[in-house]
Amino acid sequence: MDFGYEESVEGWRQGFSFIKENDAKWDLKELKTFPLKEQEWMVIIWAAPVIEGKAPMNGHLFFDTFKHDNDTGWKLVRSYIETNIPFEHVMGCW
């Protein structure tokens, strides 16, 4: 589903509130990093909340594109997210 800026901000607010309220930690796995063009890279990350030390069953796949500018450094320029991906679908990718 595509959503706008306000919906994105609200979604992130809810996500961070959930993590804080449940004293959870993030399990992050960098699956792949590769160049797209000069000074622009994509990174694919699997992220899942770990609650009460329990291994996550589902997580989120982030396809994030970063661009380097000599004046400002690295900036996120595009992001695509797939949510609620079963762990076994990405197991072995890192």
Q: What is the CATH number of the domain that holds 17?
A: 3.10.450
Q: Provide the domain limits for residue 17.
A: 5-90
Distance, in Å, from the CA atom of 17 to the CA atom of 61, rounded to the nearest integer, reads 20
Q: How many domains does the chain have?
A: 1
Q: Where are the alpha helices (DSSP H) in the chain?
A: 5-21, 87-90
DSSP 76-88: EEEEEEEEEEEHH
pLDDT tens for each residue of 47-80: 998 988 887 788 999 999 999 999 999 999 998 9
**Residues 36 and 65: beta-carbon distance below 8 Å:** yes
Structure tokens at 79: 């992001």
Contacts of 53 (CB under 8 A, 6+ apart): none
| pTM recorded for the entire structure | 0.76
Structure confidence at residue 94 (pLDDT): 66
